[in-house]
Structure 1
């Protein structure tokens, strides 16, 4: 009776040893007699006790490598230090376990070589202003290089680029010189535009003055032609009428002056009035 109980307990223990429950975030690598036998996915799995054994428990969560610092020389011979970040996850645990001994170190070494090569193909300005193509190229090459290791590279980016003190100082001097050049160009363009506007204003004023003079000349010519026509039609009466009219206008302005106290009339003013009246009478129908 006791032997049967012990046997039953032993069978239960052996059965439990053959049951493996794998978490959602892991995969188990099972060996049978020292040889790869199976990869256990998340959930309930059954193995043969004493023959099969779980040798590796691999996390399939995405992981991040420590920031990688890599020295490189750009195409325009500038020494820089790039900071790179890499994210990856294991998709084929059997390859990760049996084809590489230290996956993190292997990925870091591969990234360093690829980044050094890619940075040597472009100028410093491109590294600082347009990293999209650079990051895409690094990711593609890293994925190809690590394909046999059973991993998937999800992100590989150059986060920061640092320069040595001498290069940084030279760049600052160049930047200040460029700013000074732009300021000088802007000032010159402003002065040029101001001169153009002044010249345009003077030209506009001259054109207006010339137009005014032309209009005045036309008016004077019209008046002269009118007077000449009147003289041709009426002879000296028209001349006397015009003279009388101008004398009357002058006397009116003189009388209206605030400083006027004594007005001296010319002796022929009456004659002028008479000529004007006669001329006006002749013009009446």
Structure 2
């Protein structure tokens, strides 16, 4: 009985081992490479898979997720013979598990070395200032160069990012001094532009004020001229109306006599005023005209009485 129980236990263990060797469960985003008698047989997809125990074996296990790979820092020499320490990170993904297993003995080391050599080549074609400005160009060039070779290793290079560019301390000090000088230059230019704009604004204001003043004086002169013209016109119209009324009065009965009387009075008054200006006696040149006017005036007075 004891022997039979032991045999049953041994058979159960062997059956359990056989089942474990037969059933393979592959996780999601993984790929397992199976060899049969030392030769590539198949690539197991995620899920439940059946293999032949003791004949098939899982030789390689690959993760199909995107993998970040830190590229070690290295010193590169630029086109203008300046040393530059570059630190970057590479992102890749396994697309063919069979090629990743047999295409290279160590695809990670191969990708790392290829990234470093390509980076040194790209940096060597650029001047120091350009390396800081052309990061995107450097990243794209490295990805294209590595991806072409990595296709034989079953690897897809997705992108490369430069983490840091570190020039020597002397170059850093010189760059800092250059940046400071540029900032001071921009500050001086901005101040001069401000003063220039201020002078332009002042000149523009003065010009506009002069224009406004001249326009005001012009309008005032126009207004005065129009006022004087209006006054002259009013005086002329009043004089014309007075002449018309005088003419109308002359045409009425006795109008001519009244005019003679008025003229005689003004004639006499004029000579009287002339006589007052000095001690000399002023005598009319034609006394008969004056006596005639006085006689006419006396007749007019008598007729009125």
Q: Please give the TM-score of this superposition, normalised by the length of structure 1.
A: 0.67
Residues 1:206 and 2:210 aligned together: yes
Aligned partners of 1:22 and 1:41 also within 8 Å: no
Residue of structure 2 equivalent to 1:102:
106
Partner of 1:206: helix, strand, or coil? Answer: helix
Measured in 2, the distance between the counterparts of 1:180 and 1:210 equals: 45
Work out which of the residue numbers 16, 24, 27 in structure 2 matches 1:21. Answer: 24
Aligned partners of 1:21 and 1:42 also within 8 Å: no
Shift of 1:67: 4.2
Shift of 1:210: 2.5
Residues 1:64 and 2:75 aligned together: no
User: In terms of mean alpha carbon deviation, does 147-156 or 132-141 score higher?
Assistant: 132-141
Distance verdict in 2 for CA 1:231–1:139, change over 3 Å: same
**Alignment of structure 1 residues 177-256 onto 2, 5 Å:** 177-222=181-226, 225=229, 230=235
Work out which of the residue numbers 145, 152, 166 in structure 1 matches 2:149. Answer: 145
Work out which of the residue numbers 12, 16, 23 in structure 1 matches 2:15. Answer: 12
Partner of 2:70: helix, strand, or coil? Answer: coil
Aligned partners of 1:61 and 1:89 also within 8 Å: yes
Distance verdict in 2 for CA 1:212–1:19, change over 3 Å: same
Aligned partners of 1:31 and 1:38 also within 8 Å: yes
Shift of 1:124: 4.4
Distance verdict in 2 for CA 1:5–1:114, change over 3 Å: same
Unaligned 5+ segments in structure 1 are 235-285
Aligned partners of 1:138 and 1:157 also within 8 Å: no
Measured in 1, the distance between the counterparts of 2:95 and 2:169 equals: 43
RMSD between superposed Cα atoms in Å: 3.4
Q: Please give the TM-score of this superposition, normalised by the length of structure 2.
A: 0.64
Residue of structure 2 equivalent to 1:132:
136
Work out which of the residue numbers 37, 43, 46 in structure 1 matches 2:41. Answer: 37
Partner of 1:22: helix, strand, or coil? Answer: strand
Measured in 1, the distance between the counterparts of 2:222 and 2:74 equals: 87
Unaligned 5+ segments in structure 2 are 240-305
Shift of 1:47: 2.9
Question: Which structure has the bigger radius of gyration?
Answer: 2
Aligned partners of 1:22 and 1:28 also within 8 Å: no
